[in-house]
Amino acid sequence: MLHQPRTLLASLLVLTSAALVAEPRGEATIPSLFERLQIHGFASQAALWTSTNRYYGDSPDGSLGFTEIGINSSLRFSPRLMLAAQILSRRAGDMSDGSPEIDFALADINLVANEGYRAGIQLGRIKNRLGLYNETRDVPFTHPGIFLPQVVYFDKVRNLVLSSDGILLHTDLYQPFGTLSASLATGKPVVDDNVEAAYLTGDFNGSIQSDANSWLAGLWFNSPAEGLKLGLSGAAVSLRYDPRPGGVLPLGPGTIDVLYWIASAQYNAERWSLTAEYMAEPMQWRDFGPVRPDRDATAEGYYAQGTYRLLPNWQLMLRYEEGFADRADRNGRKLEQQSFGAIPALTASSQILSLGLRWDISRQWMLRAEFQRHVGNFILSEIENPDFLGYGKHWDLFAVQAAFRF
Which of 89, 86, 223 is CA-nearest to residue 163?
Answer: 86
Question: What pLDDT is recorded for position 94?
Answer: 92
Write the CA distances from 45 to 16, 48, 104, 319, integer angstroms: 36, 10, 22, 22
CA distance 298 to 259: 9
Burial of residue 363 (CB within 10 Å: 0-12, 13-18, 19+) is exposed
Break the chain into its structural domains and give their ranges: 36-405
What count of residues does the chain have? Answer: 406
Residue-level pLDDT at 363: 94
The whole-number pLDDT of residue 35 equals 77
Helix/strand/coil (H, E, C) string of 248-264? CCCCCCCEEEEEEEEEE
Task: Tell me what pLDDT residue 205 has.
Answer: 80
- What pLDDT is attached to residue 252? 87
Contact indicator for 243, 251 with CB cutoff of 8 Å: yes
* Contact criterion met (CB below 8 Å) for 381 and 362: no
pLDDT at 248: 64
Tell me the CA distances in angstroms from 178 to 111, 264, 268, 402, one per residue in order: 22, 17, 14, 36
Report pTM.
0.89
pLDDT computed for residue 247 by the predictor:
61
CATH (residue range 36-405):
2.40.160.10
pLDDT at 25: 44
pLDDT of residue 29: 58
Round to whole Å and give the CA distance between 322 and 280. Answer: 12
Taking Cα atoms as reference points, which of 221, 229, 222, 323 lies closest to residue 273? 229
Mean pLDDT, contiguous 10-residue spans, the chain (406 residues): 44 43 47 82 97 96 96 92 95 93 95 93 96 93 94 92 94 95 95 88 83 95 93 96 76 93 96 97 93 91 97 96 95 86 89 98 97 97 89 96 97
pLDDT at residue number 377: 95
Supply the pLDDT for residue 5.
46
**Cα torsion at 160, 161, 165, 166 (round to 10°)?**
140
| DSSP strand pairing (117-127 vs 63-78) | unpaired
